[in-house]
Amino acid sequence: MSNKVNRAQRRRLFLSNLIGFSLIFILLGVIVFVLFSRAMLTSTDQALRVEESARLQGPPKPFQRKTKFQGNVQNQHPFMTTTLVYDQKGKITNKLQLGSRYDTLKNIKLHRSQVGQLKTIKVNGKYNFRTLLIKAPKTTSDKSVAGKYLLIMENIDPQKAAMRNFTRVMLITMGIFWLLSILMSVWMSRLTMRPILKSWGRQTEFVGNAAHELRTPLTIIQNKLEFLLTKPNDKIIDQAANIAIANSESQRLQKLTHDLLALARSDSNTIQTNFEATAVAAFLQHTVEPYTEIAASQGKQLVLAPVPAFKAVLDQDLIHQLMNILIDNALKYSPQGSTITVTAQPLGRKWQLIVADQGIGVTGRDRARIFDRFYRVDTSRSRQTGGNGLGLSIAHWIVDLHHGTIAVRDNHPKGSQFVTTLPVNPPKNGHHETKK
């Protein structure tokens, strides 16, 4: 992916992550703030209501602590409340009871329309009160308040201070977390882009390699045809060598396109599979047999060692293709007079398929890389043998599809062994579609 696209995509991912985080933090902050401020006022409002019912039921009694035996607090006076009693004209009538507090509270006006409402007010520009205005009916037993307006008040300065502190702490915490979320967004956008960039790189490499591989045989065919056009009077026999080369190159092209198609399908996961319980011995016999003749024609021997009777669940077409690739390679990379041995055996819940040859073998770091697409140990040799470096990557994909493993190891005294280990009963998952 070009750097510009990559950067733009990363910026978009970063922004969307950051917006997501910010929204979550803001929402969290608002919810916590609203709940906290409500909870703060709830206890005050309850106290005002308690005072209201106490006032309407009788004259004030001294405050009593609630004990185990006095479950009902309805008639008790909350400790912190103060009550202003107004007459019909709005004049405070309980000046004596208020004592020194009167001077602070005398400026509070009566708002008759607010009867029954809970309000928050500020007195003298500095004291905060929560208030409840009630009108005592004329029938109230406490004659000092009967027919009058009562403004029950509770000072909420401590709650306001706590709220301010809480808001400050919350803003600082949210700020810190928001900064952390920036770092997190950078990290997450990088993390998300990494596999995309990797597969993009692989894809670009694959297309580049494929184009390169396709170009060589096409150029050869084109050259041969152009040469033939310069000899319109020649007989086919005269140009048999050139025609044969063009023909073998077109066969090479056909195999290459076939392999490329298989890999493209493997990438898009659109392959249809047909897993069925298979008697391995008979299946291998059937698969290996055609190759014994080809091996013999090349002066090599292909042997299928006796296979114990057991069944395994597999896709016959795909395992057939795997065998083709492994036996084809074994034949390609081993000399005349050598023997290729195919063995299969059950191993508990797995089974193993080994194709061993006495050929050139695979050494050191090539062991892991030969399963990569287009990787060939010896390019010039591979070209002579018609290889394109895709066989083993297809083999690897087939084994993957069966939830198995494939590895190469030394064959003693000479050559290599391709060891495929497959589960007898591969797990079914949504990895691929099933053939209808």
- Interface positions with ligand ADP (CB under 6 A): 325, 329-330, 333, 357, 359-362, 370, 375-378, 382, 387-393, 416
Please state the closest distance from residue 360 (CB atom) to ligand ADP, in A. 5
Q: Rank residues 273 and 334 by Cβ distance to ligand ADP and give the closer one.
A: 334
Query: Residue 341 to residues 288, 353, 371: CA-CA distances in angstroms?
Result: 10, 11, 21
Q: For residue 344, what are the β-bridge partners?
A: 353
Please state the closest distance from residue 6 (CB atom) to ligand ADP, in A. 31
Residue 367 one-letter amino acid: R
Please state the closest distance from residue 221 (CB atom) to ligand ADP, in A. 20
HSE-CB of 332 using CA atoms within 13 angstroms: 19
Please state the closest distance from residue 269 (CB atom) to ligand ADP, in A. 21
Please state the closest distance from residue 331 (CB atom) to ligand ADP, in A. 8
Q: Rank residues 142 and 366 by Cβ distance to ligand ADP and give the closer one.
A: 366
Which helix (H) or strand (E) is 165 found in, with range? helix 157-229
Please state, in angstroms and rounded to a whole number, the distance separating the CA atoms of residues 63 and 144: 19
Please state, in angstroms and rounded to a whole number, the distance separating the CA atoms of residues 107 and 122: 11
Please state, in angstroms and rounded to a whole number, the distance separating the CA atoms of residues 84 and 205: 86
**Strands 311-315, 433-434: parallel, antiparallel or unpaired by DSSP?**
unpaired
Q: Rank residues 185 and 393 by Cβ distance to ligand ADP and give the closer one.
A: 393
Please state the closest distance from residue 342 (CB atom) to ligand ADP, in A. 12
Which candidate, 332, 321, 346, 324, places its Cα nearest to that of 397? 321
First to last CA, the chain: 38
Q: Rank residues 78 and 387 by Cβ distance to ligand ADP and give the closer one.
A: 387
Q: Rank residues 78 and 361 by Cβ distance to ligand ADP and give the closer one.
A: 361
Q: Rank residues 56 and 399 by Cβ distance to ligand ADP and give the closer one.
A: 399
| Cβ atoms < 10 Å from Cβ of 220 | 18
Residue 99 one-letter amino acid: G
Please state the closest distance from residue 402 (CB atom) to ligand ADP, in A. 18
Q: Rank residues 249 and 357 by Cβ distance to ligand ADP and give the closer one.
A: 357
Q: Are 78 and 66 in contact (CB under 8 A)?
A: no
Instruction: Pull the structure tokens for residue 37.
Output: 């401020």
Please state, in angstroms and rounded to a whole number, the distance separating the CA atoms of residues 124 and 339: 107
